[in-house]
Structure 1
Amino acid sequence: MSVSLESSWSRGLDRVERWTCFVMSVALAVLVVGVNLQVAVRWLLCRMPEEAHGLVYLLSGTQELVQYAFVWMIFLGAGVGVRRGLHLRINFLDSSLSERGRRSMAILVDLGCLVLAAIFIVAGCMVAWRTRLHLSP
């Protein structure tokens, strides 16, 4: 790859990472507001007469919205963590290796992550195909 292509590729990935972090921030805000809203409504329901419980139906989708926000936040965060090299690793083994051994270990770890990602993609596609006709609760 030429230097200009590599730097433009890196700038593009940086831009995608910034947008991903922004989307994760929005998902976190949705998560915090949604959970606090649910707690407040449940607390209010204990103190309200039975006839005023129609508020629950207005907020019935917040549980599902919070769940989806949480899942998307985790998956997007995992992608950012992998790009930044923040995935779990065993440091004591890494520090005892030579420079060549560390590079080999990094390649081996990256290949392991790639294989695991492929397994997750295949299994996820199988689950998605089996549940394609299910409606979200």
Structure 2
Amino acid sequence: MITLPFDWRQVDASDDPEMEVLAHGPMTGYGYAPTVIVRRLPHLEGGPEAGMAAMLEGGMREDPTHRIIDVGETVLAGYPAAVAVFTYCIEQKSLTQILYFATPDELPSGYVLALIAATPDFGPMAGVFANIVASFQPEGF
């Protein structure tokens, strides 16, 4: 599904049937371990843009600290995808997240790939995150 850096550890998330991968990198000086999440969702009509819009709207409703930085289109594992970058606060820590959303017509599932870091770590983590995204392959392909 994805290739993680050697010093990252996958966490057991078997209690969440949609969760495919939950993994953390080493704790940084800002007190947050970079995180990657892969979730498999039911196939959604309306394409990746509609799915991303629904996810961002839900986040904004639930957490007033959400601030969208950018939203656009990209390709994830060869499939059209939506991508968004946003910030939010958890436990007095500012986090930045890049979120990918793909609903390939050829597959029975949609996929969400989220990469999260403390905001000051986000820039330095860009290369690591890019490698993780490039390694993503939906299950069965």
Tell me the TM-score normalized by structure 1: 0.21
Asked which structure has the greater CA Rg, the reply is 1
More strand per residue: 1 or 2? 2
Higher helix share: 1
